[in-house]
Amino acid sequence: MLCKLSFKNIKKSIKDYAIYFFTLILGVAIFYVFNALDSQTVMMNVSSSTAELIDLMMTMLSSVSVFVSFILGFLIIYASRFLMKRRNKEFGIYLTLGMSKRKISLILFFETLFIGIISLLVGLGLGVLLSQVMSLVVANMFEANLTKFAFVFSTSAFFKTIIYFSIMYLLVMIFNTISVSKCRLIDLLNGAKTSERIKLKNPYLCIIIFTISCIVLGRAYYIVTHDFLTLQEVTDVMKPIIMGAASTFFIFWSLSGLILRIAMSIKKFYYKGLNSFTLRQFSSKINTSVFGATIICLMLFITICLLSSCLTVKNSMNKNIRKLTPADAMFTVNMNMDKYYDKYRRYGYSDSQIKNSSYTVKEMFELFDFDITSYFKDYIEVNTYATENLTLNHTLGSKLDSIRTNFPFLAYDTMETIMKVSDYNKVAKFYGLKKYSLKNDEYMIIADFKSMVNVRNIALKNKEQINLFGHTLKPKYDTCQDGFLEMSSQHINTGIILVPDDVVKEEYLYENHLIGNYKTTNKKEIMKIENNINELDNNSKASFYLLPFGSTKLAIKEATVGLSAMATFIGLYLGIIFLISSAAILGLKELSEASDNKQRFICLRKIGTDEKMINKALFRQIAIFFMLPLLLALIHSIFGIMFAVKVLEVFGTEQLLPSIIATIFVLVIIYGGYFLITYYCSKNIMKER
């Protein structure tokens, strides 16, 4: 009997539960999709290094899934709280007719069970279908072989999803049982007729708190955008976070007391149409909305920053692979290590390795019977130089003290990398970069790491001269020029000093570099060549010589793809879950309010208000609740993204704008979609007779 009644209640209230069902199904599907990625990779033919990156990614996603389960669990319990309010009168009638609270709890138990089973089945079905699409995305990202593509069902993700969501539903059942046991008949029957007491707050107090909150929030913004280099410890990072969260709460608290006051003082606006009704509706639930709006605002802020950042990392790193790896391989060997004996001894190099540091890359390979001409179709050799008489301290000149004050964490005693302009032009020709020329008394700096570029430009604009090997050189340009030597997926060149060839003394040779392109373009053959080079470490001579260390396009690409995939999937996973949770909480709350306020809208109809005005008032009421946290979240996000740019500049931020546009698109689709669904569902509730 109770089971049958529960099923009928679900069927009857399917429209009311639309957002709840939609959110649960979406949550289950997303949870399954991201936890099934490891099963999708089984059918991909990837290299061993890529497989390791995928395993690492799955380990991180599994950890994130635990956090996601807490978010979804909170969402389900929070949603149940508002959905039960929709049933207050129904439960009151049950009690009036003599039904015990235990039986009402059983009805809710069966309803939750049915909803859980239906949501799980539909969500898992949708998740299985979406995971096939996701497998194509993963395969494309890792450039896997799709010749063996097949439909895959992840048993581990299936049972993991069932277990996690079963625990969530069990908690909901316990919550519902406790809620029913505490219900009073009079509260159930009259719940829809009561609202929070509207207490107008002292406007002067609200203005003071609003002003202080804005000042504190402005200080938090300044810390993360201008003083971010001081954020070295966890406590330093937590300080602006706490300041921002607290300020957000008090801004909403003060606005809740000011909005109605300000509106009431503007008579023409307040008494126009149904504005007074809409504002009173908003104010009738303002006390419970302040904390909720704060949580939703912060979740939206995290969502926007996460999605923008992870997409920027992905797009920028993919672009960097094409731009910053113009050759197939680059190998470097340390030279004249005895000149810097103490420095290298600290790093654990043996006396024999330091003594035998007079071989170039090519000579070292020949010593180990590895003929590079058999594998490379073309290559170049260039040198870099260093001296303890030219460090960052010397390069910054008279600007050193002021720069040290603003950037105290830089390694100012680091020797500068020096390069002949002719050697760099050989690299530029090989890479397809711009070539340069210098007069006998000029120098220039090549760099692409933005933070260091900004630091060096301060000195260059001041025309700081340097003394090198008895020569005084002035800067040719007042800014760093874009360029690099070492291949990478990131902008890591903090500065290379280019000088005329005649200035350099060969005894200060620091490193020798060999850059080349393979004869073959076949990936398997390239992997075989690079494996042969790695095997040189096992040679009996290896302990007496310091072998060249290298970076290859293939290795950089695989590492970059792995990091890019982790950033993308974790960012999307958390970002979408946060966004759905924020929108769902708002939507469910507004549907609950619509149910409570139905009688008030009926009264409007009785006094002659037409449907157009009622719908307009309802639209504005829901829009206020959706837009307030979003507007402040967007302001937070401007400074959050500015901070992210500082952190992510090593990866490059050229793709930031497209990433922000993509984030806005996702926000409009999901958040805007929930807003429209909430409005139309609320409108249908208001039309019920």
CA distance 648 to 222: 18
10 CB-near residues (< 8 Å, 6+ apart): 17, 111, 114, 115
Question: What single-letter DSSP state applies at residue 480?
Answer: P
User: Closest Cα partner for 566 from 42, 64, 178, 28?
Assistant: 64
Token reading at 182: 């505490």
List own/partner pairs for 661-665 with CB under 8 A and 24 or more apart.
662/307, 662/311, 663/304, 663/307, 663/308, 663/311
Q: What is the mean pLDDT of each run of 10 residues along the chain (689 residues)?
A: 61 66 83 77 56 72 78 73 64 67 70 77 86 71 58 80 82 72 58 51 79 89 73 70 88 76 69 70 64 85 86 76 87 81 56 76 85 88 92 90 81 90 94 92 91 90 91 92 89 91 90 91 83 76 77 82 76 84 82 70 72 78 85 90 74 73 88 86 70
pTM of the model: 0.73
What is the rounded (10 degree) CA torsion for 441, 446, 452, 457? Answer: 40
Q: At residue 382, what are phi and psi to the nearest 5 degrees?
A: -135, 160
Token reading at 131: 């995971």
Asked if 526 and 333 count as a contact pair (C-beta separation under 8 A), the reply is no
User: Closest Cα partner for 224 from 641, 530, 677, 651?
Assistant: 641
Look at residue 645 and give its three-state secondary structure.
helix
User: Closest Cα partner for 34 from 3, 1, 86, 69?
Assistant: 69
Asked if 670 and 655 count as a contact pair (C-beta separation under 8 A), the reply is no
Asked if 456 and 496 count as a contact pair (C-beta separation under 8 A), the reply is no
Q: Residue 517: enclosing H or E segment and its boundaries?
A: strand 509-518
pLDDT at residue 474, as a whole number: 93
List own/partner pairs for 680-683 with CB under 8 A and 24 or more apart.
681/15, 681/16, 681/18, 681/19, 681/591, 681/594, 682/590, 682/591, 682/594, 682/618, 682/622, 683/615, 683/618
Q: At residue 654, what are phi and psi to the nearest 5 degrees?
A: -65, -30
Q: Which residue has the tokens 């020096």?
A: 418
Asked if 310 and 655 count as a contact pair (C-beta separation under 8 A), the reply is no
CA distance 293 to 631: 11
Q: Which residue has the tokens 């990936």?
A: 523
| Amino acid at the residue 436 | Y
CA distance 550 to 372: 14
| Amino acid at the residue 393 | N
User: Closest Cα partner for 479 from 443, 436, 444?
Assistant: 444
pLDDT at residue 184, as a whole number: 62
For 245-259, give one letter per residue: b (16+ CB within 10 A) or e: bebbbbbbbbbbbbb
Q: At residue 389, what are phi and psi to the nearest 5 degrees?
A: -90, 0
Q: Which residue has the tokens 């680059």?
A: 330
pLDDT at residue 182, as a whole number: 64
User: Closest Cα partner for 69 from 137, 138, 170?
Assistant: 170
What is the rounded (10 degree) CA torsion for 209, 213, 214, 219? Answer: 150
So where are the chain's domains? Answer: 2-195+300-322+557-687, 197-284, 327-551
CA distance 37 to 61: 9
Asked if 340 and 561 count as a contact pair (C-beta separation under 8 A), the reply is no
Point out which residues pair with 498 in neighbouring strands. Answer: 419, 444
Asked if 513 and 485 count as a contact pair (C-beta separation under 8 A), the reply is yes
Residue 483, phi-psi category: left (phi > 0), alpha (psi -120 to 50), beta (remainder)? left
DSSP string, 298-312: HHHHHHHHHHHHHHH
